[in-house]
Amino acid sequence: MRLLVVEDEERLAAALRRGLQAEGFAVDVAHDGQDGLEMARHGGYDAMILDVMLPRLSGYRVVRQLRAERHWLPVLMLSAKDGEYDQADGLDCGADDYLTKPFSYVVLLARLRALLRRGTQARPVVLACGDVELDPAEKRVLVGGTEVTLTTREFALLEYLIRRPGEVVSKTELLDHVWDAALDTAPNAVEVYIGYLRRKIGRERLETVRGAGYRLVAAAATVPDARA
């Protein structure tokens, strides 16, 4: 397994390299964000340990850029910034885990092993189906590049569907995952909110599969009339 450590504190970077090499990893080190980004893009690494406060390019910007390029390298962030909002920012911008300094080396290794087990499957920060984009952290939805305002329930419904693009999702499944199980919600509540959602994102994007459920699809592109 090849790891990339991006850390500007040289003593800590050297200690991480020695410890990880002793565990059998091949380790490369970068000391600033720009070099780390370039190495992550082209180095064929299995995971990256990334500091937040880096010269030239912050760890936040590094991971955002990688995710924007659809690069799914597992990222474990390390930082002395231990506030809950700092940790939330790191995870929301695309990191897979966040560990605060000072840290336990045993815990670092365990979290790294967990990341490696997950692999490099796609896990975008912004979810998309065709021209519909949903940002779970920012609670924003764009349709064809235009922001659309949704209620909390409409947003939750769209988020569940957009995580399963092209799949048929039953009313029962939507009730189980979007509505509070403790409430006695009538099944027609799903139909009502599907109607609300269709009016906001376009009927053509949300299909009814009779007897089975609903399916979110990419809207068909409009083909210009060659005679026009």
Give this prediction's pTM.
0.64
Q: Do residues 161 and 214 make contact, with C-beta atoms less than 8 angstroms apart?
A: yes
Assigned token pair, 27: 């380790």
**Would you state the pLDDT for residue 224?**
40
* Residue that has been written with the tokens 């365990």 in this structure: 110
Q: Do residues 60 and 89 make contact, with C-beta atoms less than 8 angstroms apart?
A: yes
pLDDT 10s digits, 7-22: 999 999 999 999 989 8
Among residues 8, 38, 28, 35, the alpha carbon closest in space to that of 101 is found at 8
Of 44-53, 54-63, 160-169, 212-221, the poorest mean pLDDT is in 212-221
Percent of the chain clearing pLDDT 70 (strictly above): 91
- Mean pLDDT taken over the chain: 86
Q: What is the 3-state secondary structure (H, E, C) of the chain?
A: CEEEEECCCHHHHHHHHHHHHHCCCEEEEECCHHHHHHHHHHCCCCEEEEECCCCCCCHHHHHHHHHHCCCCCCEEEEECCCCHHHHHHHHHCCCCEEEECCCCHHHHHHHHHHHHHHCCCCCCCCEEECCEEEECCCCEEEECCEEECCCHHHHHHHHHHHCCCCCCECHHHHHHHHCCCCCCCCCHHHHHHHHHHHHHHCHHHEEEECCCEEEECCCCCCCCCCCC
Torsion sign (Cα): 27, 31, 32, 34: negative
pLDDT 10s digits, 56-112: 999 999 999 998 888 888 999 988 887 888 888 888 888 889 988 888 889 989 988
